[in-house]
């Protein structure tokens, strides 16, 4: 009798392990972009993936240089087989009209995944699409998007003084980082189903510009002086999938901030529908040597100085 219970318990544990291990995350890092230590999509994704490898039950597949492709008869074509069995997709890349996810029939590819309950997360420029080319989908799939000249992209030090209760914020303390924090997103009507994760109040000077592009200032952004803004948000969709948008991530060195890095790791694990522990995802600190690893090769004409790290301050 005891032997029977032993085998039953062993089988149950084995089944639970298989189920837990069946969470597949596809990470897409965009091609080379911007000067050194900015938009380091590959290096940033590799840094995050290295720490995600320690998460039980999570399998990560990282695609660098944009959408997954393969060579067929000497021609490079999309390799959408990478998404088979995926539970979540995380994209960190340039956006707008050139967003890799809105080229060819890729919106349809993502749409088919969403219908199956696959979760989607977008970081930095990846939250931006055109209103007529991805806008409706981004609002449905991740809750909102950056819209050119409606949203704005100044570089400023956002002070996240308080954080809401959510799996994404577990173990994360209030923090500040100087980044290209986008705000004034084009959210779903009434912000339906959108959970604010990072909220801060831009100063009047930040609203007065200049912004990165177009320089601005925009009258509607100036008119909202004093209003708190959302720089990260999350949604749980009716199809069972999840989504989030994170507008930071411009400066590569900000991954050295323990709280910003843990926040992103928590978000990705939550996206894949795994439990985030009470203290958040464990994350080894990032040394100056590690932050310089796996950087993109920039054009020869582009100098490669090592700029000083952006100001990093933790709230008291």
16-71 residue pLDDT tens: 443 445 799 999 999 999 999 999 999 999 999 999 999 999 999 999 999 999 99
256 DSSP 8-state letter: G
Residue-level pLDDT at 22: 78
Q: Give the pLDDT band of residue 315 (cuts 50, 70, 90).
A: very low
From 69-78, 172-181, 188-197, 230-239, the region with the lowest mean pLDDT:
69-78
In the chain, where the domains are located: 16-296+307-314
How is domain 16-296+307-314 classified at the architecture level of CATH?
3-Layer(aba) Sandwich (3.40)
What number is the average pLDDT over the span 267-290? 97
> Would you give the end-to-end CA distance of the chain in angstroms?
59
Q: Average pLDDT of the chain? A: 91
15-35 burial, b at 16+ Cβ within 10 Å, e below that, comes to eeeeeeeebbbbbbbbbbebe
Residue 8 has pLDDT above 50, yes or no: no
191-248 residue pLDDT tens: 999 999 999 999 999 999 999 999 999 999 999 999 999 999 999 999 999 999 999 9
Residue-level pLDDT at 291: 98
β strands within the chain, DSSP E: 23-29, 58-63, 69-72, 75-78, 88-92, 119-123, 144-145, 156-160, 175-179, 186-187, 195-200, 229-236, 242-246, 312-314
248-277 residue pLDDT tens: 999 999 999 999 999 999 999 999 999 999
DSSP string for residues in 53-119? TTSTTEEEEEE-SSS-EEEETTEEEE-GGGGTT-SEEEEES--GGG-GGGSTTHHHHHHHHHHTT-E
Residue-level pLDDT at 21: 52
Residue-level pLDDT at 298: 79
94-150 residue pLDDT tens: 999 999 999 999 999 999 999 999 999 999 999 999 999 999 999 999 999 999 999
| Distances from the Cα of 301 to the Cα of 35, 38, 136, 297, angstroms | 11, 16, 39, 11
Q: Give the pLDDT band of residue 93 (cuts 50, 70, 90).
A: very high
137-157 residue pLDDT tens: 999 999 999 999 999 999 999
């Amino acid at each position: 009798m005891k032997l029977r219970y032993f085998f039953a318990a062993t089988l149950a544990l084995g089944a639970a392990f298989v189920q837990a291990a069946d969470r597949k995350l596809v990470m897409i890092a965009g091609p080379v972009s911007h000067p050194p230590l900015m938009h380091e999509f590959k290096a940033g994704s590799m840094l995050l993936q290295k720490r995600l490898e320690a998460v039980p039950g999570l399998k990560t597949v990282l695609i660098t240089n944009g959408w997954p492709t393969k060579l067929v008869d000497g021609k490079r074509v999309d390799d959408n087989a990478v998404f088979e069995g995926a539970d979540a997709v995380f994209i960190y890349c340039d956006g707008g009209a050139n967003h890799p996810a809105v080229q060819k029939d890729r919106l349809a590819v993502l749409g088919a995944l969403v219908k199956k309950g696959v979760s989607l997360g977008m970081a930095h420029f990846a939250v931006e699409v055109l209103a007529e080319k991805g806008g409706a989908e981004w609002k449905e799939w991740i809750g909102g998007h950056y819209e050119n000249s409606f949203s704005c992209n100044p570089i400023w030090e956002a002070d996240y003084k308080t954080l809401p209760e959510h799996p994404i914020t577990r173990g994360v303390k209030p923090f500040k980082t100087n980044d290209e924090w986008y705000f004034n997103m084009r959210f779903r009507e009434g912000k339906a189903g959108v959970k604010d994760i990072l909220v801060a109040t831009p100063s009047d000077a930040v609203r007065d510009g200049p912004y990165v592009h177009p320089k601005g200032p925009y009258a509607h952004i100036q008119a909202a002086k004093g209003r708190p803004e959302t720089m990260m948000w999350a949604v749980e969709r009716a199809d069972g999938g999840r989504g989030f948008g994170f507008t930071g991530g411009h400066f590569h060195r900000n991954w050295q901030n323990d709280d910003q890095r843990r926040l992103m790791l928590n978000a990705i694990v939550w996206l894949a529908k795994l439990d985030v522990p009470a203290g958040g995802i464990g994350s080894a600190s990032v040394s100056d040597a590690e932050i310089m690893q796996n950087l993109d090769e920039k054009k020869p004409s582009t100098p490669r100085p090592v700029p000083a790290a952006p100001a990093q301050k933790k709230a008291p």
